[in-house]
Structure 1
Amino acid sequence: MHLTSARFATLLAFARRGLIAAWKPVLFAALLWMATAAGAVPIPGTPVPITLQTFVVMLAGLMLPWRQAGAAVATYLAAGALGLPVFAGGASTMALVGPSAGFLIGFLPGVILTALLRGQARTDSPISAALTAGRYLLAAVIGCVVVVYVFGIGAQSLLTGVDPLAVALASTGFIAGDAVKACVAAAFAAGLMRR
């Protein structure tokens, strides 16, 4: 098959669009790994440590289209499933069947829901910017806190045999930190969207 200059230009444009679309998910997947590599803070009573992962997932959901946000988290989870030490404490595959599995897996529907709920950024006036930040905050809380906790608490309860209410109570140590992360992520993402 002969490659004409028009076909070559089309192929080149297609490859360029693919690279442009792929770099952001890869960047956020790397940021997720760096958020765990930076360290984890253990919480007494729960095997799941505090990391900055949730913050990065929130940023991905607030700054990327839902497909790219989902691709970033899927890439991160796939790297861990393939054995790369990308999860908290340098864990990999076994973290996806351990006590934090539900939280990790919950990142995927959480980030997609956050991206779908956030709506369009409007920063043409201070009131519009404040409303955008508020909408972003609500999207981050629903997607990256509520959804992730539902998956995390449910899976941890199933895997450990501990009552879901007891797991939920043990997980309350994360709520204040996640609320702060959601506020910072919403303000940061809304600020970046300003023209």
Structure 2
Amino acid sequence: MDAKLKYKAKKIKIVFFDIDDTLRTSKTGFIPATIPTVFKQLREKGILTGIASGRGIFGVVPEIRELKPDFFVTLNGAYIEDKKGQVIYQHQIEKLDVEEYVSWTKEEGIEYGLVGSHDAKLSTRTELISEAIDPIYPNLDVDPDFHEKADIYQMWTFEEKGDDLHLPESLSDKLRMVRWHEHSSDIVPISG
């Protein structure tokens, strides 16, 4: 390592890790035995650690929690907790935008999911939805009206339209689609 890179490395204060297919294989749940050692060595050097994931805090598996990271940046940055469970930041999607999104999915003939800070619900349960979501959140309940009971931080599409699907203009200046599965996209705030 050259001197310039060593100098930059000494300035590192925090390191963030994604969960799926970074720390943990999403299909099998395998976590390399070296991962806890990496977290321990970073702590010994005084470097903070964080998890940064599209998953909700409720979807962070026990093996990742056991690594004792200092921060959990979840729902693509919309909900952040420290290691003590204290909320550091939260950014909900406006209720009217959620309602418009739900109406749009019905017009498009696609299904959806709604994600709160500590729970998520599906509009229905189909094989296509199960294939996409169960590896991340097994056995989610169906509640198409979840947004009437909880603040929503993120939403999902479930469809076969792929990259041909686009949000309506009335939502595309506030929300964006991030494809994470062949049959699903995260719907997140543009500012997120």
Tell me the TM-score normalized by structure 1.
Answer: 0.26
Tell me the TM-score normalized by structure 2.
Answer: 0.26
Q: Report the structure, 1 or 2, having the larger helix content.
A: 1
Q: Report the structure, 1 or 2, having the larger strand content.
A: 2
